[in-house]
Amino acid sequence: MQCKIDDTKFDYEGFALVRKLDGIDEQGKIRTKEENGRKKEDVILTMEPAQNVPTSCTVYDKDGKVIVTAADIAELHGKTFSAKQDWFREQCLKLRTSWEDEHTFIFIRRTHLIEDSVLGIMMLEPHQLRNMFRFEFIGEPGIDAGGVAREWFEVVSQQLFHPDAGLWQYSAVNQMCMQINASSGLANENHLHYFRFTGRFLGKALFDGQLVASHLIRHIYKHMLGWPLMFADIEMIDDNVFRSLMMLGDIEDVEDLCLDFSVMESEMGMNRTVDLIPDGADVDVTNDNLKLFLEKSLEYRINTRVQAQLKQLLLGFYEVMPEALLTVFDFQELELMCCGLPHFDLEDWKVNTEYLGQYESKKTAHKVVAWFWEVVEEWDEELKARLMQFVTGTSGVPAQGFAYLQGNDGNIRKFAINSISKSSSLYPRAHTCFNRIDLPLYDSKQELHDKVKLAVQMEATGFDIE
């Protein structure tokens, strides 16, 4: 007797969407169309089921010659992060325009840092973005031998991503991460121009091996890579919305909640209704259409709500960085590429960790906790960063140290280790809203090492390892 699968139920863990940019060819050229006698970009950003979006694995140089193939990409997937980085840098050097052929000078006034930077970068043609840049702060003597460029990337990212600029805002879950401000147009009427600049800025930083001072929310890195976005990605955007939507799957009759296919948005103290489907406010959510409601809710949170800004960000990014060149990385590695490997003060980390469950009374004297810290101490900085990404959602650590980690309510919420039985889970589980790892009561240090290492490395795949 065969068991019939209920395909009317929403698959919270398996359903995935991938962004699709229609209007960019394999060589990164953007399609245009004539409109009122002027050329206008003709690019459409949509979200499609993951299985419907092909991935390009071919990279071309400026002359149209293939320098990276699918076979090259496949060979890199089994390599270490360090090996991938080295390969990536080699390909960027192949794509860079030599100094003798063409180079670019960028002049900036410190008093008008962002305005001058936007003007200097946005006046360039896409092919010029791969030139070697030389920066000069007007009125300040000095030759840019690399130090001025590093400073420019650092100070621009500090101001560009600061909430006061109105383009980005803190993640509702982790204030080490920045997410797109859906109301950015109210703060800056040229906000889309600035998001295009932001894309070019991030792409140029990666291309030149420079670091930016701000960490982005996880799903932005996934968009940049063309990775599947899962329902769990909503949690990093708004954990209250995430929990509410998760509970709908357990309700016997969803009609009792009087929901419809719309959401309420608040802008400058004013509320407005946004339809998830045409005339959504007039369509009630029922058990029969709940699956569609959840699919549209995911699409709205990860794309539609900030679609205009996201499209410009991605277009600017791909004007510098060939999309296929990044396919060797996962989204956690992309964050490390953009922001660098942080330095972890293990003593500060241990001192500012809270212990729960069976670990609470003995703390670091508990044998499993002791094994945990011994294992972490043996790891290199990359694995420590992946552990932080696994537990908190980002590799970033506050400048003041682990004592200032924040939770989803904006209050201090330290790194926490909670005990769970092996019967409930063989692998550790993360609760990013609370900066907490549920660590099973392992029987040996080797078992702990193997299970924790696999968990933090598998986090980027999106697959369950139970």
d(CA 267, CA 140): 42
- pLDDT of the residue at 466: 43
- The per-residue pLDDT for range 351-403, each reduced to its tens digit, is 999 999 999 999 999 999 999 999 999 999 999 999 999 998 888 888 788 98
Give the confidence band of 7 by pLDDT, cuts at 50, 70, 90: low
- pLDDT of the residue at 91: 95
d(CA 444, CA 458): 21
Nearest to 95 by CA among 61, 68, 126: 61
Give the confidence band of 8 by pLDDT, cuts at 50, 70, 90: low
Nearest to 66 by CA among 21, 27, 25: 27
Secondary element (H or E) of residue 195: helix 191-208
The whole-chain average pLDDT of the chain stands at 90
Q: Quick one: DSSP state of residue 170?
A: E
Give the confidence band of 460 by pLDDT, cuts at 50, 70, 90: low
Q: Which CATH number fits domain 242-301: 3.20.20.70, 1.25.40.10, 3.30.2160.10, 3.40.50.720?
A: 3.30.2160.10
- pLDDT of the residue at 341: 86
Q: Tell me what percent of the residues of the chain surpass a pLDDT of 90.
A: 70
- The average pLDDT across 239-244 equals 91
- pLDDT of the residue at 50: 82
- The per-residue pLDDT for range 320-356, each reduced to its tens digit, is 999 999 999 999 999 999 999 888 999 999 999 999 9
Give the confidence band of 1 by pLDDT, cuts at 50, 70, 90: very low
Question: Looking at the domain covering 16-229+305-339, what would its CATH class be?
Answer: alpha beta
Domain ranges of the chain: 16-229+305-339, 242-301, 346-461
The set of residues, in sequence order, having a beta carbon less than 8 Å from that of 460 and lying 6+ positions away, is 330, 331, 332, 333
Beta bridge partners of 264: 273
Model confidence at 146: pLDDT above 70? no
- The per-residue pLDDT for range 63-113, each reduced to its tens digit, is 889 999 999 999 988 899 999 999 999 999 999 999 999 999 999 999 999
- The per-residue pLDDT for range 411-433, each reduced to its tens digit, is 788 999 999 999 999 999 998 88
CATH fourth-level superfamily of 346-461: Hect, E3 ligase catalytic domain (3.30.2410.10)
Phi/psi region, residue 37 (left: phi>0; alpha: psi -120 to 50; beta: rest), is left
- pLDDT of the residue at 143: 59
d(CA 393, CA 430): 9
d(CA 44, CA 244): 31
Please list the active-site residues: 433
Beta bridge partners of 105: 134
